[in-house]
Amino acid sequence: MLGYATRRLLMAPLVLLAVITITFLLVRLAPGGPFDHDRVLPPDVRANLDARYGLDAPLHRQYLSYVGGLLHGDLGPSLRYRDQAVSQVIMGGLPATLTLGGLAWLIAAGLGIPLGALAAARRGSWLDHAASSIAAIGIAIPVFVVAPLGVLAFAVGLGWVPTGGWEHGRPSDVILPAVALAIPVLANLLRLTRSATLETLSAPHVLGARARGLGPTRVLFGHVLPAALAPVIAYLGPATAGILAGSLVVESVFSIPGVGRHLVQGALNRDYTLVLGMVIFYAALVLVANLVADLLQAWTDPRLRSNGA
């Protein structure tokens, strides 16, 4: 297992470098620039701005300079947020994004996994049909549809929660965006857990546990569910990163000052360094989440652990 983890850790910087290189080229080759406004800047002003941020250098020198800064932990200055480094912009929105994403993850995992297991254990019952319907609806409807519908129903129609905003993470501000963000992940977890649990119910060790007279609940959560969690853990890695990455839609709908909104604004404003910093942040998040999920799989499944040794 140690060798498996080492190989994954050694691959991570190469993957991250590839993501940085591709993103750097794409943002530089896209039409427009960070200083293209409604009015045309005088040539001398434009030249001074390009020189100030190193945009007058050849593309390969800009790339080498940027990568050199990354090696020292410098994401560079934002081209549109005056006197702010990209790291400061990201750290400013990180608490809201982590609060929102963490609560959405807890909702998705805390409801999706047990509901999927219970639906499989009571196959054909009303609970199974209800869980399958919830999973189908949650997978079919994307977040950018769920979020506005939630605002119309629970904020505008019923008035239970505010339509948006973020005042120090009040529960009323967090609950609706977190539920909207959690629904697709919850639906996938429910479907995966149900399918994996159904396959495991007929396994020899489960039949043996039943033959020894163990109760249904103890068999389900003590013998079936641990063996059925391998595909669920595999999904939780990218899903965890996807929750935080997908929060940019929810943050825009609910006017939450999180990290995701900066990525949208950076792309619209052609803020090269901010877009690159956000992509690096999300790419690192995906790599870490997938690594943790793979290690958990190897830890829970001896076959993977022996093959990856």
DSSP secondary structure of 49-88? HHHHTTTTS-HHHHHHHHHHHHHTT---B-SSSTT-BHHH
Cα gap 35→275, rounded to integer Å: 15
Element spanning 280, H or E: helix 272-300
Nearest of 278, 273, 259 to residue 33 by alpha carbon: 273
Helices (H) and strands (E) in the chain, counts: 14, 0
Q: What number does CATH give the domain 93-307?
A: 1.10.3720.10
Residue 85 sits at φ, ψ, to 5 deg, of -80, 155
- The domains of the chain are located at 93-307
> Is the pTM higher than 0.75?
no
pLDDT tens for the 309 residues of the chain, in order: 556 567 767 777 888 888 888 888 887 777 766 666 656 666 777 677 667 767 777 778 888 888 888 888 888 787 777 777 888 888 877 888 888 888 888 998 888 888 888 887 788 788 888 888 888 888 888 777 877 787 788 777 777 777 776 766 577 778 888 888 888 888 888 888 888 887 777 777 666 766 776 666 777 777 676 777 777 877 887 788 778 766 777 877 777 877 777 777 777 777 788 888 888 888 888 888 777 777 776 666 555 555 544
Strand partners, 77: 85
Give yes or no for a contact between 131 and 190, defined as CB atoms under 8 angstroms apart: yes
